Homo-oligomer: A and B are copies of this chain.
Amino acid sequence: MKYSRQREAIKDFLMTRTDHPTAEAVYLSVRESNPKISLGTVYRNLSLLTSLGEIQKICCGDGVERYDANVAPHYHYHCTACGCVMDVPMDQVPTSKVLIGADFPEEVDGYTVLFHGTCRECRKKMEKSS
């Protein structure tokens, strides 16, 4: 694999963020330091970095994928009002064996946990407008 300035900029940007940006958001931000970059390149590198395990993809079911440079096991919280995604701070996360029980006969490589609800900020806004 060869070095690419674009790929490095994408990874660097993701490492500064804990809010799990979408491909579009990555594109808009990386473009500031790298005005010629194209959205296709962003997608190509995000999926390359994902398959290398350097970043992870988060799927919330709202039709947009998000990306996270933190690949250590952790849970996510998705606000169904504003769409924001945040990390759930936890000292450690159970192993899949513990969570799934010993009897499950399929091989498990890993797992994801996604909580959902309405975040404090959105609740505040809803109160105000009611």
Contacts and interface: CB of A to CB of B under 8 A. Distances in A.
Interface stretch (A2-10, A13-21, A31-39, A113-121): A113-121
B99 A113 contact: yes
A54 interface: no
A105 interface: yes
Interface in A68-124: 75, 77, 79-80, 86, 88-90, 96, 99-101, 103-120, 123
Q: How many copies does the complex hold?
A: 2
B120 A106 contact: yes
Contacts of A57: 61
B118 A109 contact: yes
Interface in A29-63: 57, 59-61
